[in-house]
Amino acid sequence: MIVRRRPVAFLAAAMLAVALPAGSAHAAMHGGASADAAPAAPEEAPALTTPLPVATASANGITISSNGAVLLNRRATVSGSAPARLRRVAIQQLTAKRGWQQVATATISAKGSFKAAWRPRAVGAQQLRAVAGTVAARAADEAPQVDVTVYRPGVASWYGPASPKKPGKTACGVPLTTTTLGVAHKTLRCGTQVQLYYRGATIVVPVIDRGPFITGRTWDLTKATAEALGDVERGLITVGALPLNGKPRLKTPYDAPAIRR
């Protein structure tokens, strides 16, 4: 048997009250049946999360800085410094089809600093650069570049076994204990590795279960996963997610339904 805790919802630092309906435990609903051909192997050791550094690069007298991780369609900030005489810089993103495309502009202050906002439109590894508005094309090719990872935001709850002495079994056939690392998802295949991003840290865990089956939620973290991310008290949190392998088992998109701010 698997039980849930009553959540106190947390969406990007905003708190609201919610309640979990009864009968939503994954293992109880699936009776321990395997959802895919090969069940995912559980992880039973505490996970270490890695704080993400700020990405910074300098070239041609210009410095550009950005958070190493940002959320899809959410406002992100790029800052830096450049000679005040240049007046303006353009922030460009490298695209597969059109090459470098401008996503923001910024005015350089009298002290030589600038700040710009942009909204990521694609998930995964992305490249940004800062180009002075009057530089030649060759100089633009030597502009400072930073790598940024874009994660898809989704609401995550957490769950765990009813008792440390009585582990449940997930829909992927994985025994669920208080130290099992993994996530439940409605469509990603069992065993798919998912990189989660929360409050400047990341963790990679496998899909080991099905769910959550409540509108507005995308992921259900095991208790150990929530603890590794440093948040088990809030109940609901908004995490960034990036599947590293595998495809949805069903035709529905893996992030549906999604909640955006």
Q: Give pTM, 2 decimals.
A: 0.75
**Range 203-221 average pLDDT:** 95
Count the neighbouring beta carbons within 10 Å of the beta carbon of residue 9. 19
Strands 54-59 and 62-67: antiparallel
Q: Provide the H-helix boundaries in 202-258.
A: 223-228
Q: Which of 26-30, 81-85, 127-131, 252-256 has the lowest mean pLDDT?
A: 252-256
Give the residue, 211 or 51, on which the prediction is more confident: 211
Return the residue matching tokens 């435990």. Answer: 25
Domain coordinates of the chain in residue numbers? 2-50+151-243, 53-150
| Segment 133-187, tens digit of pLDDT | 755 455 577 899 999 999 999 999 999 886 667 778 899 999 999 899 999 999 9
Instruction: Return all residues near 198 (Cβ < 8 A) that are at least 6 apart.
Output: 229, 230, 231, 237, 239, 240
Q: How far is CA 113 from CA 68, 107, 108, 109, in A?
A: 20, 8, 5, 5
pLDDT at 163: 67
Give the residue, 38 or 56, on which the prediction is more confident: 56
Q: Which two tokens stand for residue 33?
A: 């049946």
Q: Which of 49-53, 87-91, 217-221, 247-251 has the lowest mean pLDDT?
A: 247-251
**Segment holding 27, helix H or strand E:** helix 26-30
| Segment 112-125, tens digit of pLDDT | 999 999 999 999 99
**Range 199-211 average pLDDT:** 93
Taking 60 as the threshold, does the pLDDT of residue 10 lie above it?
Answer: no
CA dihedral 216, 256, 235, 200 (to 10 degrees): -130
Out of 3.40.50.10490, 3.40.50.300, 2.40.40.10, 3.30.300.20, select the CATH number for domain 2-50+151-243.
2.40.40.10
**Chain centroid, CA 160 distance in Å:** 22
Q: Do domains 2-50+151-243 and 53-150 have the same CATH topology?
A: no
pLDDT at 167: 73
Taking 60 as the threshold, does the pLDDT of residue 1 lie above it?
Answer: no
Q: Which of 39-43, 65-69, 158-162, 192-196 has the lowest mean pLDDT?
A: 39-43
What topology is assigned to 53-150 in CATH?
Immunoglobulin-like (2.60.40)
pLDDT at 160: 85
